[in-house]
Amino acid sequence: MDLKAYIEERRKEGKYVELEGEVDPHYEVARYLKRHDGGPTLLFNKVKGHSIPVVGNLVTKREDIVKLLRVKDLNEAYLKLLEACNSPSRLKLKSDAPFEEVRLKDLRDLPILTHYERDGGPYITTSVVIARDYDTGAFNASIHRMLMVDPTHLAIRVVPRHLHYIMTRWWEKGKDLPIAVVIGSHPAMFLAAASSPPLGVFEAEVANNLLNGKLEGCLLNNGIIVPRSSEIVIIGRILRDSYVEEGPFVDVTGTYDKVRRQPVVEVEAIYAKEEALYHALLPASREHRIFMSFYREALIWQRVKEVVPTLKAVRLTTGGCNWLHCVLSIRKVNEGDPKNAMLAAFAAHPSLKMVIVVDEDIDPDSPEDVEWALATRFQPDEDLVVISRIRGSSLDPSSDQERLLTSKMGIDATTPLNRPRDLFERAKIP
């Protein structure tokens, strides 16, 4: 189960385009990915100054995840991902791997892209970083953007989550953190690494569950396990107490994240398959947003369904960056259902800033439909919930980003149960 097998499936479905002309990794590849955002998988065979082709737009719609997980609908996809996080499948380990075929000289051999005009430099945006907990030996895989500092060093953005905890424990012992960085794997691995199961659950084993036990592992000399089918693997260390300025970088909101001092990765070796592919993800693209948001949608679906079993759909909306705004579609049974649903959604995904609850006759994928529900079924003095000064997302430029404080809003745009239903129905022509 590797990246090329997935791309072949996309080709057979007619969702794949190869570009034969030479393209520049400095902005030009990004322009193509932006132009075809939400469209087919793109393969760039000739990248200026590089022998490794670039591929992007692997997953651009929720339906793509439904298909790669071999399920019938979104609800089954949510359930399969959550169950895989709870029941990871151990990898079968082998001592060799196809990615050991070629050893690259340094980072300049990789077609690392520069995406936007104010970017701090060339960024690896598909870095699946794998590390081992110092105390327990448990592995962790997570996605981190990496800025190329020089041919053998990267700046890595590490937020206070699992990798940060593992890194801090190694540093407390006076040691650098050994890591492996995977670029190019089956999208199920990338989806698993974008999820947040509890610390101690290895996301590669989550991916193995998603792929029905068909993902093999390879044990590296530094003690790290990586998927054997990886296209490119960087071996290195996050240096203890070594920092550089990282950024600007365009995150999921489409705005520039601020510059911060972040840890440094020292690259020790880079390995690649003989005919390796470099997976590039355009920041703020549909691919970025779908991978980043899908696990959160699944968590919201699970948590809301516990308090409102008649939940029909969850959508982290495109206009809300697939991160900050959510629409919940329910069949309302009690007047309190919408507010219970809002609170459950906020608890499931703390970065949420706005939740709109609509009836099942409203299409949650249609901004026009949702706005119509607001216009005809919502009264601000009765149906608006505002929560002030609460933990929010560091990605929201309007929030207090230093203290991670924001305000949140819940909107009940459902039909009142104590009034005639026909007053709120849309007229139909028989």
* Burial zone of 24 (CB within 10 Å; 0-12 exposed, 13-18 middle, 19+ buried): middle
Report the C-alpha dihedral over residues 10, 11, 14, 15, rounded to 10 degrees. 40
Q: Classify 206 as helix, strand or coil.
A: helix
> Domain end: 259, 278, 297, which one?
278
Are both 274 and 296 inside the same structural domain? no
Is there a domain that residue 15 lies in? no
The residues facing 19 across adjacent strands are 44
Q: Quick one: pLDDT at residue 396?
A: 85
Are both 178 and 317 inside the same structural domain? no
Mean pLDDT by 10 residues, the chain (430 residues): 93 94 97 96 97 97 95 96 97 93 96 97 98 97 98 96 97 97 97 96 98 95 96 98 96 93 98 97 97 97 97 96 97 96 97 97 96 97 94 85 89 93 89
Q: Quick one: pLDDT at residue 103?
A: 96
Tell me the residue range of the domain where 161 lies.
76-278
Is there a domain that residue 273 lies in? yes
Are both 194 and 102 inside the same structural domain? yes
Is there a domain that residue 12 lies in? no
Is there a domain that residue 172 lies in? yes
> Domain end: 254, 278, 302, which one?
278
Q: Quick one: pLDDT at residue 159?
A: 92
Could you tell me the CATH number of the domain that includes residue 362?
3.40.1670.10
> Domain end: 233, 252, 278, which one?
278
pTM of the predicted model over 0.85: yes
Q: How many domains does the chain have?
A: 2
Radius of gyration of the chain (CA): 22
Residue with tokens 């809003």: 409
Are both 229 and 361 inside the same structural domain? no
Active-site residues, by number, are 251
Are both 409 and 339 inside the same structural domain? yes
> What is the per-residue DSSP string for 103-137?
EESSGGGS--BB-STT-SS-EE---EEEEE-TTT-
